[in-house]
Chain A
Amino acid sequence: MFGKGLITGMRVTLKHFFGKKETFCYPEEKLPMPERFRGGHLVIDYKKCIACQLCSMACPNQAIELKVVTDAQRKRHLTSYIHHMGRCMFCDLCIENCAIHGLHWDQNYEISAYTRDAFDYEVLTDDDRQYLKEVMEAAAANPAPPIVPKKPAAPKPAEAPKPEPKKPEENKETEVKPNE
């Protein structure tokens, strides 16, 4: 009989009409994200970070822009960590390549913004900058003995921790992106 299929279909719809709701009221209720969820802003464990720049080199899209200084003890520190979220594809490579496993996502999925500029997200917090200041001062008070004892220490490989030793101060924009 023509129309029988239609009626069967209608019956299914009707059943769901009175059944359990599949949706939920989004802004009021929020879905919890699983532990592995990739999304939101980057969070850095600043005190552990060794400014090796592996994260920015691993990024396929050059979405991470780092600025590095070297203190009087010839240790490197990040002064700024900009995550260009508009370029980011949340592939997780930066996090997986971090030398100290000190990067992770804050898992906040409500990251839309009104302007493009808002997507250039500064990962370092005020606390981190405060910490940097303290470390820099402490290092200046107790500089490493040899070579140049001035504050922005000589750009020498010195005790460079991990990757290729290059002049830290010039890393305005990290364009080197081989390997990894």
Chain B
Amino acid sequence: MAGTETYTLNMGPQHPSTHGVLRVQLELDGENILSAKPIMGYLHRGIEKLLESRTYVQGVPYTDRLDYVSSMNNNFGFCRAVEELAGIEVPERAEYIRVIVAELNRIASHLVFIGSLAIDLGASTGMLYTFRDREEILDLFNLVCGARMTFHYIRVGGVNRDVQPEFIEKTYKFLEHVPVFMEEYKKILLGNEIFMSRLKGISKMSKETALSHNMTGPNIRATGIPYDIRKVDGYSVYPRFDFNVVTGKNGDNWDRFNVRYNEIFESAKIVRQALDGLPEGPFMAKVPKVLRPPKGEVFSRTEGTRGELGFYIVSDGSTKPYRVHIRRPSFVNMQGLNDMCRGYLIGDSVAAFSAIDPLMGEVDC
């Protein structure tokens, strides 16, 4: 009888299901995956270095390009770090507006996740529905800041411009719409037997493994650890809002999907509370024209859509940061890929990439 050998398969960097330019080296035994090694760097743009050669204010639009489906959260993280460094007090109205747009962006990003997971599993209709509804959010953002992808709306010291009454009205309308389209996804996807069997019990991960890989965001919440920076740190005005941290039980792909699915409701809840309590006042703090934060360093973290988004900034007292390092959740979460793929079939690897929800702009930075 002939012996068998393992086989190495390069998946990507140009592969439709890798969400960009991720290359995964799969070690296969027949159809079983022995190991999966993500190889990154195809989308490296040197954003950290770019930020070091720009002033603090000029750096904000570059953070849009990290996690480009939830730019608001990146702007938020970077601006918070700079504000902490420079000791800028942000007006309350600005904080509320920031929370509103960041949570709307989280919804938009989770919709992209649901859509891309659906299309990766072969349900291409699913994607069209989620993108249709994401469009509403993008239109809201277009209204308030004039861009649909790279917003550059949250600025150091507040937000760029005040929200219009039209925006508030339309956001309320959108919130009414949330349960409607979520119900529709439930009908299309959640009840679908094929969709379910492709996800349930696949890519299981224990709490310990997830912790040892330093995973954050929905990926760790799916394993049952209620780790959410919005609760843990309670930054900005989040402690004022009532929302739950959604967790899973088994840490399989089905839980990862469900955590994000239910987070949409929680985010919608936050947006509604923030809109109800939106205080009057200025939307921008007094920021000196030439911003020179005092010497020092800061590490500030926020809950990005994909996990803990941290900005480490060192200031040497000049107008430009001396060093910027970005803790990108997608990059760290990718470390769990091997554990999620090992022992499963090659077809499940596609579901595993999708369920991690990496964004290559953020992985490579």
Interface residues of chain A, those whose CB is within 8 Å of chain B, are: 2-6, 8-9, 11-13, 22, 33-34, 36-39, 58, 60, 89-93, 96, 178-180
Contact = CB atoms under 8 A, between A and B. Distances in A.
A131 to B, nearest CB: 29
Given A178-B319, A179-B319, A180-B289, A8 B191 contact: yes
A13 B145 contact: no
B158 to A, nearest CB: 13
Interface string B120-151: 00000100000010000000001111110010
A9 B188 contact: yes
B125 A13 contact: yes
Contacts of B61: 60, 89, 91, 93
A85 to B, nearest CB: 15
A37 B146 contact: yes
Contacts of A39: 146-147
Contact of B188 (A4, A12, A58): A12
Contacts of A13: 125, 188
Given A6-B193, A37-B146, A93 B188 contact: no
Given A36-B144, A92-B152, A12 B58 contact: no
A13 B160 CA distance: 40
A158 B135 CA distance: 53
B152 to A, nearest CB: 5
B146 A180 contact: no
B317 to A, nearest CB: 14
B182 to A, nearest CB: 13
A96 B146 CA distance: 13
Interface of B: 54-55, 57-62, 64, 125, 132, 142-147, 150, 152, 160-161, 184, 187-196, 289-290, 319
B193 A5 contact: yes
B127 to A, nearest CB: 13
A96 B323 CA distance: 27
Given A2-B193, A5-B195, A36-B161, 8 more contacts: A8-B187, A12-B184, A12-B187, A38-B146, A58-B58, A91-B60, A91-B61, A178-B55
Contacts of A33: 142
Contacts, number: 81
Contacts of A12: 184, 187-188
26 contacts: A4-B191, A5-B193, A6-B194, A8-B187, A9-B125, A9-B192, A12-B184, A12-B187, A33-B142, A36-B143, A39-B146, A39-B147, A58-B58, A60-B54, A60-B59, A60-B62, A89-B61, A90-B150, A91-B60, A93-B58, A93-B61, A96-B160, A178-B290, A178-B319, A179-B289, A179-B290
Given A60-B61, A179-B289, A38 B55 contact: no
A36 B145 contact: yes
B140 to A, nearest CB: 10
Contacts of B152: 91-92
A60 B188 CA distance: 45
B29 to A, nearest CB: 31
Contacts of B184: 12
Contacts of B55: 178-180
A178 B319 CA distance: 8
A37 B189 CA distance: 35
B264 to A, nearest CB: 18
A179 B57 CA distance: 9
Nearest to A37: B146
Contact of A9 (B54, B64, B191): B191
